[in-house]
């Protein structure tokens, strides 16, 4: 285990990050909408429905089975364990040849916004990343069957994890003895793992999956965008979750020079990710999450390749910290405001009182905090959030104004009733 041989700097960094994670993950009153939806869905399913029915959103039955038995806190604890697994396992693969090699790899992790994500923590993405980390660690330890099984499980939880198969499979072909036989065994184990996590692949079509016509141009355009969803969740793009454009180009250029096998495998995996995303309607940046262990593994290998490699990686880390600082701080600020709004709900009383100022029959979209006690009067018509442009009024939390879509929508309303942490934007008031 990495922490057993960690230096004081690494221990201090890990402890600080761990405490911050505890703050984020332990506040289960501040679940984002997707988390609450997943828990409600899984608790509403019977075991036969989970195991034999169609999988919602294309997530493997194993995901729904796990959270079926979980409270919000237990599910968050599993997600946090998966998050911790990534640096713990990948940093353990870095040799002692470079004095600060592991420190730099851990700092590279901390420079990525994914290390501080506050979005749908209860979801298949973090679990898939933890399993992918185990697969990369097993590859490093020459346990190729375990690498196959774990990577298959990662893919079975959510099919966007498929690029990790390309990364590990190509490294096996390029680096291992008896490469063809080893790769075949790896792939067979991955298939087994995928069907364990998602047996429905054999007999049912997933539901709730949005696909679109292939558009590589749209994927490439979205790679480094900074997108926030209507519920205040940061959703990407891909490079905004990991390495910004400049650091990514520098990282790949040096990796190709110093550890070309790993860099080539990473390029192939990214191409697979881009092709996969090109068929997606949503193209969320978090599709890259299962590939994060591969990025860190390549960094750990090339940091030992040349005497000057640590200096180059340190420069990449520094630039990435600077590039991602705003995104990371905005995510943490969003979570802080969400927790504060739910623990100090004076704003909700103000909103409740101001609803009486809306004319009878007003159509209203309520995107205030999940878990708030606002009761919509019977003389108002409630619409879902996707009907925001058609509504006569919208309740919006102040923190959600980070979303470009919401900012554009509320410009159409001539009146605003302010309640501190929340607003009512409306076309008319009494």
- Mean pLDDT lowest for which of 299-303, 336-340, 368-372, 392-396? 368-372
For residue 185, count CB atoms less than 10 angstroms from its CB and return exposed for 0-12, middle for 13-18, buried for 19 or more. Answer: middle
CA distance 70 to 40: 11
Side-chain-side CA neighbours of residue 79 (13 Å): 31
Give the percent of the chain with pLDDT over 90.
58
CA distance 77 to 150: 20
Q: What is the pLDDT of residue 209?
A: 60
The mean pLDDT of 259-274, rounded to a whole number, is 93
Establish whether the linkage from the previous residue to 422 is cis, with ω within 30° of 0.
no
For residue 165, count CB atoms less than 10 angstroms from its CB and return exposed for 0-12, middle for 13-18, buried for 19 or more. Answer: buried
Total residue count of the chain as it appears in this document = 430
Q: What is the pLDDT of residue 384?
A: 84
Q: Are 258 and 306 in contact (CB under 8 A)?
A: yes
The mean pLDDT of 383-392, rounded to a whole number, is 85
Nearest to 62 by CA among 380, 140, 70: 70
Q: What is the pLDDT of residue 152?
A: 96
Q: What is the pLDDT of residue 325?
A: 94
Q: What is the pLDDT of residue 105?
A: 94
- Whether pLDDT at 230 is above 60: yes
- Whether pLDDT at 373 is above 90: no
pLDDT digits (tens, 9 = 90+) for 92-133: 998 877 668 899 999 999 999 999 999 999 999 999 999 999
Q: What is the pLDDT of residue 207?
A: 61
The mean pLDDT of 402-417, rounded to a whole number, is 86
Side-chain-side CA neighbours of residue 55 (13 Å): 25
Q: Where are the alpha helices (DSSP H) in 278-403?
A: 292-302, 309-343, 346-354
Q: What is the pLDDT of residue 53?
A: 78
Name the CA dihedral angle for 67, 133, 232, 331, rounded to a multiple of 10 degrees.
130
Q: Are 416 and 398 in contact (CB under 8 A)?
A: no
Tokens of 356: 């009486």
pLDDT digits (tens, 9 = 90+) for 196-229: 999 887 766 666 566 656 666 777 777 878 888 8
- Whether pLDDT at 393 is above 80: yes
Mean pLDDT for all residues in the chain: 89
Tokens of 289: 């999450």
pLDDT digits (tens, 9 = 90+) for 170-189: 999 999 888 999 999 999 99
Q: Are 115 and 126 in contact (CB under 8 A)?
A: no
CA distance 173 to 179: 5
Q: What is the pLDDT of residue 212?
A: 59
Instruction: Look up the pTM and report it.
Output: 0.92
Task: Tell me which of 429 and 366 has the higher pLDDT.
Answer: 366
- Grade residue 27 by pLDDT with cuts at 50, 70 and 90: very high
pLDDT digits (tens, 9 = 90+) for 279-333: 777 788 899 999 999 999 999 998 887 788 889 999 999 999 999 999 999 999 9
The mean pLDDT of 36-60, rounded to a whole number, is 88
Q: Are 62 and 147 in contact (CB under 8 A)?
A: no
CA distance 253 to 269: 16
Please report where in the chains the tokens 């495998």 appear, as a residue. Answer: 265
Number of helices followed by number of strands (H, E) in the chain? 18, 7
């Amino acid at each position: 285990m990495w922490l057993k041989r960690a230096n004081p700097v690494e221990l201090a960094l890990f402890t600080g990050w761990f405490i911050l994670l505890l703050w984020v993950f332990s506040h289960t009153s501040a679940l984002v909408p997707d988390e609450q939806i997943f828990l409600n869905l899984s608790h509403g399913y019977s075991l036969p429905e989970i195991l034999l029915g169609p999988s919602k959103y294309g997530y493997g039955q194993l995901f729904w089975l796990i959270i079926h038995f979980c409270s919000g806190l237990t599910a968050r604890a599993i997600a946090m364990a998966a998050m911790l697994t990534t640096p713990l396992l990948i940093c353990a693969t870095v040799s002692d040849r470079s004095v600060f090699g592991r420190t730099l790899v851990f700092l590279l992790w901390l420079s990525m916004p994914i290390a501080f994500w506050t979005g749908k923590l209860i979801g298949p993405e973090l679990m898939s990343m933890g399993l992918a980390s185990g697969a990369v660690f097993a590859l490093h330890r020459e346990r190729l069957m375990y690498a196959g099984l774990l990577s298959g499980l990662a893919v079975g939880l959510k099919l966007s994890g498929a690029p990790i198969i390309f990364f590990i499979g190509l490294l096996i072909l390029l680096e291992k003895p008896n490469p063809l036989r080893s790769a075949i065994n790896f792939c067979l184990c991955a298939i087994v793992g995928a069907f364990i996590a998602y047996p429905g692949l054999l007999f049912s079509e997933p539901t709730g999956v949005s696909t679109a016509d292939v558009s590589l141009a749209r994927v490439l355009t979205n790679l480094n965008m900074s997108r926030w969803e209507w519920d205040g969740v940061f959703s990407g793009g891909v490079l905004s979750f990991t390495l910004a454009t400049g650091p990514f180009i520098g990282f790949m250029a040096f990796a190709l020079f110093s550890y070309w096998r790993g860099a080539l495998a990473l390029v192939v995996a990214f191409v697979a990710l881009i092709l996969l995303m090109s068929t997606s309607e949503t193209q969320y940046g978090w599709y890259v999450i299962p590939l994060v262990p591969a990025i860190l593994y390549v960094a750990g290998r090339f940091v030992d390749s040349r005497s000057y490699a640590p200096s180059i990686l340190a420069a990449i880390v520094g630039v990435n910290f600077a590039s991602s600082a705003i995104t990371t701080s905005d995510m943490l600020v969003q979570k802080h405001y969400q927790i504060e709004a739910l623990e100090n709900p004076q704003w909700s009383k103000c909103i409740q009182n101001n609803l009486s100022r809306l004319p009878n029959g007003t159509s209203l979209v309520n995107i205030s905090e999940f878990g708030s006690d606002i009761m919509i009067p019977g003389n108002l018509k409630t619409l879902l959030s996707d009907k925001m442009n058609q509504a006569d009024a919208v309740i919006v939390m102040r923190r959600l104004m980070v979303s470009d879509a919401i900012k554009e929508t509320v410009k159409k309303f001539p009146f605003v009733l302010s309640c501190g942490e929340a607003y009512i934007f409306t076309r008319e008031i009494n």
